[in-house]
Structure 1
Amino acid sequence: MARSKPSIDLAVWSGLRDSFASTYRDEVHVSEALAREIQGLILRQELDAGDRLPSERDLSEVLGVSRPTISKTLKILALQGLVTAKRGSGTFIADEPGMSNSPSVDLILNLNADSVPNLLEMRLMLELRGMNDAILRADDADLERTRQYAEALAATNIDEIANWMSADIRFHHSIAAASKNQYLEMFFLSTHSAIVRFEFRDWLASGRAPSWQLEADQQGVLMDVHWEMHSALVERDPHRGERAIIAHHELLTEHVSDTLLGD
């Protein structure tokens, strides 16, 4: 795991302001644009794993945007698995930040929310194939990484939505990565991340938790399914893996349906 570094010099961020502020005026669009700019910094390795981001107040001042805009940006990045928040320490670039082409998937969902069942179907097909390939190809490092992410997910309170969903994305991504198929990994990460953002879009917009999260023992139910997926991978049992993934898919479909009904 990368060692946490001191907060980055604010000068690194000063170049972002002109690149998006003149084009995007409202808070939601500025947040999305800023999230894309920060993703670009990570891709260009101007931000590294373990780097601590400046505080929301400092970023607000140097970028000339409101603190709610910065907060929304960090939520978006957390749901992409790019940053993690550590209570009392700040927000950090994830140890293994995932990259995807999910903005294009998000665009389709924003234009046609009724297409989300098709995206769920695509996600299921990709994860089933990813699990089968991972069972055949995963090495010891892959199994250890998946175990660590499952433990991190279990240790995260579901009420801490950004951290929970960031840990969830890393867990599912680790299985796709263990398939050793970079294209499957990329497309799975895109579909999964887009569905997660859709599932939690009310929280992204207003801070309101989804209704399913308020149900009793949701964390226990979800963790049982995630541990079953991990066990199937460790035991290299494709039938067990298929059952676990379908069970997870059914839960995810219920959650997304609740989101649609709430619109």
Structure 2
Amino acid sequence: MPFEKIQSEKLSGAVVRQIELLILRGILRPGERLPAERELSERLGVSRPSLREAVADLQDRGLLTSKAGAGIYVANVLGSAFSPALVKLFADHDEAVFDYIDFRRDMEGLAAERAARLGSDTDLKVVDTILQKMEAAHTKRNPADEAQLDAEFHLSIIEAGHNVVMLHMMRSMFDLLREGVFYNRQMMFKQRATRDTLLDQHRAINTALQSRNPVAARKAVEAHLSYVEQCLTDLKKTEQHEEIARQRLAHEKER
């Protein structure tokens, strides 16, 4: 008969599984510092030797990393999603920008549908809380905070869809966006009219989610990203026109 004696699990193994799941579910994020050893062992209810064994295992597998004198951190497991050469290609070619928006429109539309259907009440409260922070940041002249919250708002919707593969894939995409690989998000928020429109669009997405309307949620996300696409198209045309105008001015001064 295919039965074996049940063996009790080592405490370090239970710690490994708990930290693995926190990373997998996106609760512990890349670059996040773990609590100090004493505090973490107390929270987990295990001895410090058991915790050290678990941390060493997770480090060996590339999920945690140590920084001398600074502690233990979640490794940048998203860093390998795109090679440096591919990231440079993204940054150097406009084609990648619009393909990126197309990709986001498809994936985030699906994520919004999932969030409306599958998200818990607490998930949707997170989305609503971030929107409230966006509304507060909207009153500031500097758009940096609002631009940052924009990314957090979209990621909170993906988190509410409870698909860990989609979550980590989209986090890697948003990390590139934060680094300005695709476009400078703060440029989108410089004009007051554009900021007002973007905030209204985020409100519409939130309203659809809070009412648990998957179809409306998807349409609101798609409309928002289509607007972003049009804004970027207009910005690039403006840049081209300005370059031509500078050439004309330089030529006129030489005549």
Q: What's the CA shift for 1:148? A: 0.5
Per-residue deviation, 1:106:
3.8
Q: How does 1:109-188 map to 2 (within 5 A)?
A: 109-157=90-138, 159-188=141-170
Equivalent residue number for residue 248 of structure 1: 224
Q: Distance in 1 between matches of 2:220 and 2:158?
A: 15
Shift of 1:134: 1.1
Instruction: Name structure 2 gaps, 5 residues minimum.
Output: 1-28, 37-75, 241-255
Task: Indicate if the aligned counterparts of 1:120 and 1:195 stay in contact, CA closer than 8 A.
Answer: no
Does structure 1 conserve the Cα–Cα contact (< 8 Å) formed by 2:113 and 2:215? no
With over 3 angstroms needed to count, the CA separation of the structure-2 counterparts of 1:215 and 1:110, relative to structure 1, is: closer
Deviations 1:166-207 (A, max 9, x none): 111111100000010011112223334434523317xxxxxx
1:218: Cα distance to partner?
2.4
Q: TM-score, normalised by structure 1?
A: 0.55
Change (3 A) 1:161 1:46: farther
Q: Distance in 1 between matches of 2:230 and 2:183?
A: 10
Q: Is the 8 A contact 1:135 1:233 kept in 2?
A: yes
2:183 equivalent among 199, 206, 223: 199
Q: Decide whether aligned partners of structure 1 residues 103 and 260 sit closer, same or farther in structure 2, where only a CA change above 3 A counts.
A: farther
* 2:34 alignment counterpart: 45
Q: Which has the larger radius of gyration?
A: 2
Per the normalisation by structure 2, the TM-score is 0.56
CA contact (8 A) 1:156 1:163 kept: yes
Report deviation, 1:135: 1.4
Give the share of equivalent positions with the same residue, in percent: 19
* Count, aligned residues: 166
Structure 1: runs of 5+ lacking an equivalent:
1-38, 48-97, 202-208
One-letter amino acid of the structure 1 residue matched with residue 224 of structure 2: H
Contact kept, 8 Å, 2:97 with 2:183, in 1: the verdict is: no
Distance 2:174 2:235 in 1: 16
Alpha-carbon distance in structure 1 between the residues aligned to 2:126 and 2:77 = 17
User: What RMSD in Å do the two structures reach over aligned CA positions?
Assistant: 2.9
